[in-house]
Amino acid sequence: MMIVHVYCIVRNEALMLPYFFRHYDKFTSEYFIYDDNSDDGTREIIQANPKAHLCPLPLSGLDDVMFSELYRDEYGKRSRGKADWCMALAADEFIYHKNGVMSELEFYAEAGYDLIRAQGFQMIADKPPELGIQIYQEINTGIPDARYSLAVVFNPLIDVEFGPGREQTIYPGSAKIADKGAIRLLHYRFLGEDYIRTRHARNYARLTEKNKAMGYGTHTAPDYAGEYDLEWFRIARKGAKPCLG
């Protein structure tokens, strides 16, 4: 069986982590989860999963440059020569394929691919999940988001670096890229207006001064207006459709 390593940076993700583990446990061999001083039970949830390693975060706060460097350095040390695939994810991101993720990973590995660009979807709902089933069984509507079509699945033998927010992936020119497949990246961030307000306020409070100076994460600012604000959500909610394929 293929070996898959998942990397994730978290802060107070007690709501989302049970869904995250419920999904990824089906095909993940090991998790390396970096916690930023969570105090809502996140650490206990991680420690209860026998596949998960609770790892220290070099510094506290939401710092996109540090996060990118962490992913780059850690997968090289922990996964190169040990895993077939790595995934660099947030706790509200779900790699999905209607026929199962593992079969797709096996196909791409056998075909010699080095990196997979997933089709991005912003999942839309009126409230957070609450049923304790697979999150996409409860919330399956959203909208396509080309900006969120991220290359977060890669062979650890190649040298990969991520730009801020992982919106840009830097990889060797010789790497074989799969970017027209059916693997999807479902992002569960827009789960009702109250959830969005709370989440944005929490994230903005965590932004480091370096992040603010470079303009990263500023869409969470209280006075921000534009893509991914509440008005964007209201429009997206009207156009959301089932998007599991």
227 Cβ contact list (under 8 Å, min separation 6): 219
Kindly report, residue by residue over 99-119, the tens digit of the pLDDT. 999 999 999 999 999 999 999
- Which residue do the tokens 């959203």 mark? 142
Q: Residue 96: helix, strand or coil by DSSP?
A: strand
What CATH number does residue 8 fall under? 3.90.550
Could you give the number of structural domains in the chain?
A: 1
Q: Is the confidence at residue 164, as pLDDT, over 80?
A: no
Higher per-residue pLDDT: 117 or 163? 117
* DSSP label of 118: P
Kindly report, residue by residue over 29-76, the tens digit of the pLDDT. 999 999 999 999 999 999 999 999 999 998 888 888 888 889 999 999
Helices in the chain by DSSP H: which ranges? 17-24, 42-47, 64-78, 101-110, 135-138, 193-206, 209-214, 230-239
Tell me what pLDDT residue 118 has: 95
User: Whole domain around residue 80: which residue ranges?
Assistant: 4-242
